[in-house]
Amino acid sequence: MIYGYARVSSKDQNLDTQFAALSKFGVDEIVHEKISGVAKQRPELDKLLDKLESGDTIVVIRMDRLGRSSRQLIELVEDFEARNINLVILDMNIDTRTPTGKFFLTIMAGFAEMERTILKEKQRNGIEIAKSKGVYEGRPKKYHKKHAGLKHAIELYKLNKYTVKEITGMTSVSRSTLYRALKEQEEKELVL
């Protein structure tokens, strides 16, 4: 059986182009979903992977439809190879039913991972430069000092009437956020 897998990252994106390419290839069934590629769980892909049998083929239009990292792709390809399942990536003319296709996929997955690593390194360098200039402050804190929920959580804690679990349930402030705020407050009091 030949399965096509189509995926887009957000609900407002369209799957029509992928459907057309997969249909043109001649897949027997198309499995699709709208979910981010970095999501740990991709329910439709997981179901497809579970039902694949020896000799089946999975077809995607691009490598990034299956996985975001070369590690993820290589693990999938190794799983496919162990289970005698074939992979076809249309935009690269990769067909793991051939030795050349298997080799080319490994090389391309390595380049994709290298590109992601370089981008992350550039981002880290950019952040360091921005920090040194005093421009970058990091992700904004969800609970700042004046946040009503955090203030209320601290007040409840100081009453000694409630457990931390009860306080976090009432205020929706996480345990770690509460403890971090209490520690900061304690450190300030020690300085004064």
Active site residues: 9
Q: Return all residues near 10 (Cβ < 8 A) that are at least 6 apart.
A: 34, 36
CA distance 127 to 11: 31
Helix (H) or strand (E) holding 86: strand 86-89
SS3 of the chain: helix, strand, coil, percent, to 5: 55, 10, 30
State the amino acid at position 24 in one-letter form.
K
The count of other CB atoms within 10 Å of the CB of residue 124 is 10
Indicate if the alpha-carbon torsion angle 48, 66, 3, 82 is positive or negative.
negative
Q: Which residue's structure tokens are 């390595």?
A: 110
CA distance 179 to 104: 51
Query: Encoding tokens for residue 184?
Result: 């900061």
